[in-house]
Amino acid sequence: MVNFTRRGFLGATGAALGIRAAAPLARSGGGRRILTLVYDKSLGMMRAVERVVP
């Protein structure tokens, strides 16, 4: 398992957001994308959950 530091986590999250911003929103068929950070007890760290809301 990878141990993320705060700096590593923020870097990984920033990279993921950059990739999501580069992809066109129209590809999902419209709607708003909501990205939420949640704490996953099984992983022992935060993870990103994305959902599309019409």
pLDDT at 7 (0 to 100)? 79
Neighbours of 16 (CB within 10 A): 13
Query: Among 11-20, 23-32, 39-48, which is the least confidently predicted range?
Result: 23-32
Mean pLDDT, residues 10-16: 78
25 HSE (CA, 13 A, CB side): 11
pLDDT band at 41 (very low <50, low <70, confident <90, very high): confident
